Every structure is written in C-alpha cells, then in structure tokens.
Amino acid sequence: MHTIEEKRVYGDRSGAVDAYVTSSIGVVRVRVAGDAVGEFGLCDRCDARDVAATRTGDDAAVAIATDEDVRVLDGTPASESEGERADDATFVGTGFGPAVAVGYDGRALLAADADGRVARRTGDDWETLEDGAIETVTAIDGDLVGTGTGVYRVHANGLDHAGLTDVRDVSAAGIPLAATADGLYKLGNGWMAIRDEPFDVVAADPLGDRGRLGRAHAVADRTVYAHDPADDEWRAMDEPPETVVGIAYGESVYAVTERGTFCAANDGDGPGTWRSQTIGVGDVTGIAVALTE
C-alpha cells in the first residue's frame, strides 16, 4: 500500500512540489512531498551553473544561469490544487548572456557573469548594477551578492561592499548569513562568526520571519550543520552520502550532492537523518524548490 506521501508524489500530486537541480548536462525536475522523493527527469539540456526560485502569488518563478544565457521557466512548475502538472513547461532565454549566478530579490531577478557584471531584470530588459569591478561572483540570494572580495548588498542603483572576504555562498532570509573560507557568519552588529572553519554552502528557509533565523543549514566539507531556532545553536546532522552542494526548503529540507544524490531530511528515522535518491546526473551545481502561496 502506498503511503500518503507516495500518493502525493506518484498519485494525485496535490501538496507535492517541484525541486529543480542544475548540473553540467542540464536541469532535473524532482517531484517531492514531505520527505518522499517521487518522479524525476531531465527537463532542460544545458550547462546549468546555478538556479533560483521565488514565489509570485499563485505561481512560482524559476531561473537558471547557463553558459549561454539566463533562462526562466515558462509555465507553472509548482503544486496545483487541481493536481495537474505542467509537463510542458520550458526554460526560455532572457538576453542576459552567459551567467555564473542567479538569485531573486523579492520578485526581481538578479544575475552575474564571469567578468563581474551584475544586473537586475526589469520587465524584459536588464539593468546593469555593476560592470566588471567585482571579482568572482559566487552566489546571489535576496539583496546579497557573494564574491571573492566579500559580500555586496544590492540597492536601487548599484552595489555596496558589506564586508568579509572569500565568500562562497550567501543567504538573505531571516538574518543574513555568509559561508566563507574562514568560517560561517551572521549579520548583526557587523558580521559575527558562528563557526571557525571553511564553509561552502549556507541556506535559510525563505518563508521564515524577517529578522529571525528559523530553519537554516550550512555545509563544511562533508558535515551539514542545522540551526536550532529554540536555542540558536548549530548542530551536525548525520553525514549525507556525499558532499552537499545545495540546500532548499519546502515541507521538508532538501539537499543535493555534487554526484547527483537527492536527499530529504527524514526526522521519522530520527533527528538529522536523510532519505536519498540518485537522480542520474553528475557535476551538480545547485537546487531550488518552486513554492507557491
């Protein structure tokens, strides 16, 4: 007999969502419900370097950074109350050109290229915010841009340097976080160190309260640390099967490894454990979950 979660990912689909995993051979769409992983398949063949998603009312927006262009999802990719699935959804170009990172600041799409250009999409046009003065953009999330020379914050007409160096990932939800070669940091009265070891990935639940850190995770080598809002402590989870390169949030916590293993946090088997499923791609670069309201 199917469990309720299995029916949601293989059956009527209501309550399930789509996760998008980017890799060097394309984008894999994975149907998930809770900690159950269901159908998955390659939905776009390209060299995808990054992925981001945001809510837009009843729909969700998803963008990918590829070696040819920034492309956005054309269709309704997330959960629908009627249980229908948009299998014909495709990614379409935006005219940005080759990109290394994408992110959403609210509903505004931001992108960066390998030469340090950072731009915001307004309607169908791209407005350049910074052109070549930034070294090695590594991540974009909300109004934060992570780079080799530190964190920058996006404002109306450009970017301002906000501190740190050698930033590998950023998270803007709740309380700003940064994963750097020196450690994991949170923004308070300046950047405050949480842990002093190299971190590569950091993420927080985008549906969390502003000014308060709820669900959040960070990756140092093979260790995934989970934030506990009850005492503001970061504790190691059970080690995933491989090194995690991206984390996203839905009903559960989802992670993806560089070798293409999709993981869902499974508290049913004990706190901090994972359920995993190989999705058939390697050289994975990121994950985003398409949520609607």
Query: What pLDDT score was predicted for residue 213?
Result: 96
Alpha helical stretches, state H, the chain:
4-10
What's the rounded Cα separation, in Å, for the pair 17 and 251? Answer: 9
Are 67 and 43 within 8 A, CB to CB?
A: no
Please give the domain boundaries of the chain with CATH numbers for all domains. Answer: 4-290 (2.120.10.30)
Summarised one tens digit per residue, pLDDT across range 7-20 is 444 444 557 899 99
What's the rounded Cα separation, in Å, for the pair 38 and 96? Answer: 33
Average pLDDT, the chain: 88
Q: What is the pTM of this model?
A: 0.90
C-alpha 115, offset from chain centre? 22
Q: Computed from CA positions of residues 138, 48, 60, 155, in that sequence, does the dihedral angle turn out positive or negative?
A: positive
Summarised one tens digit per residue, pLDDT across range 180-191 is 999 999 999 999
Summarised one tens digit per residue, pLDDT across range 76-135 is 444 443 344 444 568 999 999 999 999 999 989 999 999 999 999 989 999 999 988 888
Residue 55 contacts by C-beta under 8 Å, 6 or more apart in sequence?
Answer: 61, 291, 292, 293
* Beta pairing partners, 54: 61
Residue 141 contacts by C-beta under 8 Å, 6 or more apart in sequence?
Answer: 52, 103, 169, 170, 171, 172, 173
State percent of the chain over pLDDT 90: 75
